[in-house]
Amino acid sequence: MKISRVAERLGLPKERLSELQETIVKESDWPPPRLMRFDKPVSGVEAGTVVFYTGEVVYGYPKIKRAMLLEPAIKRQFTGIVAVEEKMNGYNLRATSIDGEIVALTRGGYICPFSTEVVRDRIDPEVFRDHPEIVLCGEMVGPENPYVPKSIYPVDSAEFVLFDIAKKNSRVTQGVHPTHDLAEEYGLNVTPLLGEFRAEGAYKEIVPIVRDLGKRGREGIVLKDVSNEAPPIKYTCSESNCMDLEHAFRYYNDYASDFIVSRVVREGFQAVEWGESSEEIRARAARLGESILLPLADTIRRKMEKEQIAQSVQIRVKRIQTAKDFEQHLRRMGIRAIFDIPVPDVDGYVVRIEKMVMSTNDKTQAMIDGQLW
């Protein structure tokens, strides 16, 4: 791909882009189509940005900052009307059409063969025929999902849930109303819109929404300015923070300590903002402590019993080739996984996958063998 053309598209100096080639900007021709991918952010270009061989750019989905205390954050970020959307717990995907073929890009800008097959099956292709420039930004959720499998939605396998729309070659996304209107027009799954409130009174309305989502095992909310001027902010439920911790401590040495610490700190801020009594805060402490210690002890015990610690996931594919391509994709990402033989089932094949957590296995075994931390 011509560097000068890509640089011009992105508004970067050509020399700067050449310098970054192979370190931060990577070329790929598998799976097709050929593209250039940004591994890290560069001078205002989001990580996960992709430039296709056609010259079309799909920008990375913008990062969403987190509120630790809802009330002051809302006051500081918003003035007009705030929309409360559910924050879906899955993985970020951007679906677009290149030369008439729909492709699904992960957060990092990889074309994921599994996600691409699902998106081609679930999204009405009419939307891409009517809007060839469109980029559908959404979350892939459901239990049969290889990255963030969750059984908390009324979804049997995997579904794409729209939460924003963008256009190729443009950094801006369209925001709440255009997204929900498009979803309605084409019958797309869309993230629930849970209410719209004036910024001044929003906090009081939002707290019960967060509590209710938490009880239902859902992740949290994303607050969005309906006029699409202020950037959105995210906020998560205590139960969801604890579920993340439970997962992270089961595979404790494969998770960054940032992931863990930030979730514990959130609990402190929420307990104080919600003015919890000493009884309530003790209940929170018990929930938090259990989500740390129980999975950790379970991992150690299993390893002592000579069990290999692994993460089991399952995908459902229409074609065996998709599973093979997905296996190749994981290998390319540096994720070690063992794929079972595909089992014929409704709608194609079910494939069980054991994702290896090498670091947790090795560390735990070392401790069992008497080594020091």
- Answer for which of 191, 360, 361, 364 binds ligand ATP (CB under 6 A) is 191
Question: In this chain, which stretch among 3-11, 86-94, 195-203, 302-310 interacts with ligand ATP, using CB under 6 A?
Answer: 86-94
User: In angstroms, rounded to a whole number, what is the distance separating the alpha carbons of residues 10 and 17?
Assistant: 10
Nearer to ligand ATP, 103 or 213 (CB): 213
Query: Judged by CB, which is closer to ligand ATP: 139, or 325?
Result: 139
Residues 195-254 that bind ligand ATP (CB under 6 A): 222, 234
Nearer to ligand ATP, 89 or 364 (CB): 89
Nearest residue (CB) to ligand ATP, 164 versus 239: 164
The answer to whether residues 93 and 115 touch, using CB atoms and an 8 Å cutoff, is yes
Quote helix, strand, coil % in the chain, to nearest 5: 40, 25, 35
88 binds ligand ATP (CB under 6 A): yes
60: DSSP letter: P
Residue 246 gets the label, from left (phi > 0), alpha (psi -120 to 50) or beta, of alpha
Contact criterion met (CB below 8 Å) for 127 and 182: yes
Which residues 95-154 are close enough to bind ligand ATP by CB under 6 A?
139
Return d(Cα 177, Cα 161) in angstroms, integer. 15
Compute the least distance from the CB of residue 266 to ligand ATP, in Å. Answer: 11
Q: How far apart are CB 295 and ligand ATP at their closest, in Å?
A: 20
Amino acid in position 37 = R
Coil/strand/helix, residue 169: coil
Question: What's the min distance (Å) between Cβ of 180 and ligand ATP?
Answer: 11
From the CB of 140, what's the least distance to ligand ATP, in Å? 9
Q: Which of 12, 83, 92, 94 binds ligand ATP (CB under 6 A)?
A: 92
- 3-state secondary structure (DSSP) of residue 242: helix
Q: Cα–Cα distances in Å, from 27 out to 17, 42, 50, 171, 312?
A: 12, 16, 10, 21, 31
Is residue 64 within the footprint of ligand ATP (CB under 6 A)? yes
Q: Could you tell me if 15 and 24 are in contact, meaning their C-beta atoms sit under 8 angstroms apart?
A: no
Closest approach of Cβ 241 to ligand ATP, in Å?
11
Q: Interacting stretch for ligand ATP, rule CB under 6 A, among 49-57, 82-90, 314-322, 337-345?
A: 82-90
Number of residues that bind ligand ATP (CB under 6 A): 13
Q: According to the binding rule CB under 6 A, does residue 87 interact with ligand ATP? A: yes
Least spacing, CB of residue 183 vs ligand ATP, in Å: 12
Give the shortest CB-193-to-ligand ATP separation in angstroms. 9
How many Å apart are CA 362 and CA 309, to the nearest integer?
10
**Pick 155 or 300: Cβ nearer ligand ATP:** 155
Q: Give the whole-angstrom CA distance, residue 201 versus residue 22.
A: 50
Per DSSP, what are the bridge partners of residue 83?
196, 224
Q: Could you give the CA distance from residue 205 to residue 221 in angstroms, rounded to a whole number?
A: 13
Residue 146: asked if its preceding bond is cis (omega within 30°), the reply is no
163 binds ligand ATP (CB under 6 A): yes
Q: Does 76 help bind ligand ATP (rule: CB under 6 A)? A: no
Q: How far is the CB of 344 from ligand ATP (least distance, A)?
A: 32
Contact residues for ligand ATP (CB under 6 A)? Answer: 61, 63-64, 85, 87-88, 92, 139, 163-164, 191, 222, 234
